Chains A and B, each alone.
Chain A
Amino acid sequence: MADADDTTDELPDDVAALIGVPQYPRTADFDVERSYTYDTCAATQNGNPLLWDDAVATELAGGPIAAPTTLSLWMRPHYWQPGAAGEQVALQVHFDLKARFDLPEAVMTDNTLILHEPVRPGDRISHRQVLRSVSGPKTTKLGSGRFWVIDVEYHNQDDVLVGVERYTGFGYRRAAAEGSAS
């Protein structure tokens, strides 16, 4: 399958202007708490003493940390909350690109997690979405469309980078009589 590396200079000006620009900044609804690390460790039978034993955590990491792969959960919305209405979309830039290029289907082909400063109990995490690249028109077995790369950057309350999730998406219009939607 082709990829998004070959960003072209044929992009519409309004799309090209968005590359590298932080969008949709949001701060988490609640502070980082230890219960989710314990739940994650319980769900995966993870006995790493760094995540269970405060003495080990203090010695190695300067204090308790959240399990590193919990990074994205701090930004996930509650299932319900007062006043909430409609579906809350996690990766708005992806949906913006689908609409901008009139591509009704999309798949994520790769998902990369890059871990920086540890997340710690009591932190309040914020994130923002950054469009990194958009390819020229491509045709794959799914159909014809474009690849794009979107970073979701996570910072703590001190604006220190704690991690990045990098999504490679392919928005497309189905080839006749084949392909699958997502």
Chain B
Amino acid sequence: MTAPKLLLDQVAAGDALPALAVEVTPTTVVLGAIASRDWRPMHHDYKFATERNGVADIFLNTPNQAAWFERYVTDWTGPHGRLGRMTFRMRDSVFPGDTMTFTATVTDVRTDEAGCGWVALDVTLTATHAERGERTATTCALTVAVPTSNDDNPWARRGAAWAP
């Protein structure tokens, strides 16, 4: 039996998640684009990105950023954590050569009418580069369900018991 890594009563509003820092390479960008079936050239063609789009390099695509947010949050919750909702706001692009750093703060902890335990997070993806400086690339408001007890499993919820 897989024990939950994180229970709802171990979380409080104001808690900070451990930061995750990743060095972005062209391979990071291209792997993410291909994995999400995003064939647009600005995610794999340097000349298109720089000469046509007028940006610094190829850049991370949106669905892949969603996957990075998923990875970051479920690293923290463990496999019992079940994403409910995520809202993105893109502010700047993430390029090869950047260090992207994920940070998050718990904004709310609650149990809904069905007994599902929810954690709300504000997650920020910050891109840092020696010449481009530090930029807030993406912000994401996210909710994730975590077990309320060792016997609870958010993945077992169906129908009215799952209200993301």
Contacts and interface: CB of A to CB of B under 8 A. Distances in A.
Given A39-B31, A79-B39, A111-B87, A46 B158 contact: no
B74 A40 contact: no
Contact of B63 (A45, A59, A69): A69
Interface in B131-164: 153, 155-156, 158, 162, 164
B88 A40 contact: no
Contact of B164 (A48, A61, A116): A116
A97 interface: no
Contacts of A4: none
A110 B87 contact: yes
B120 to A, nearest CB: 14
Nearest to B88: A111
A115 B164 contact: yes
A90 B113 CA distance: 36
Given A40-B67, A70-B36, A117 B158 contact: yes
A112 interface: yes
A117 B84 CA distance: 10
B35 A42 contact: yes
Given A116-B162, A116-B164, A69 B70 contact: yes
- Chain B interface SS verdict (over half): mixed
Contact of B79 (A42, A48, A69, A110): A48
B68 A44 contact: yes
Interface residues of A, number: 35
Contact of B38 (A67, A76, A111, A112): A76
B164 A43 contact: no
A40 B35 contact: yes
Contacts, number: 108
Interface in A104-128: 109-118
A34 B122 CA distance: 30
Contacts of B70: 44, 46, 67-69
Contact of A72 (B63, B68, B75): B63
Interface string A49-86: 11000001001111000011110110010010000000
Nearest to B36: A73
Contact of B155 (A44, A110, A118): A118
Contact of B67 (A50, A70, A110, A117): A70
B66 interface: yes
B2 A56 contact: yes
Contacts of A109: 89
8 contacts: A36-B35, A49-B2, A67-B70, A79-B39, A111-B90, A112-B88, A113-B86, A115-B84
Given A46-B70, A48-B75, A114-B164, 15 more contacts: A43-B34, A43-B64, A46-B71, A50-B79, A60-B80, A60-B153, A69-B66, A69-B70, A73-B37, A73-B63, A110-B89, A113-B85, A115-B82, A115-B85, A118-B155
In order of increasing CB-CB distance, the 3 nearest A-B pairs are A39-B35, A50-B79, A46-B71
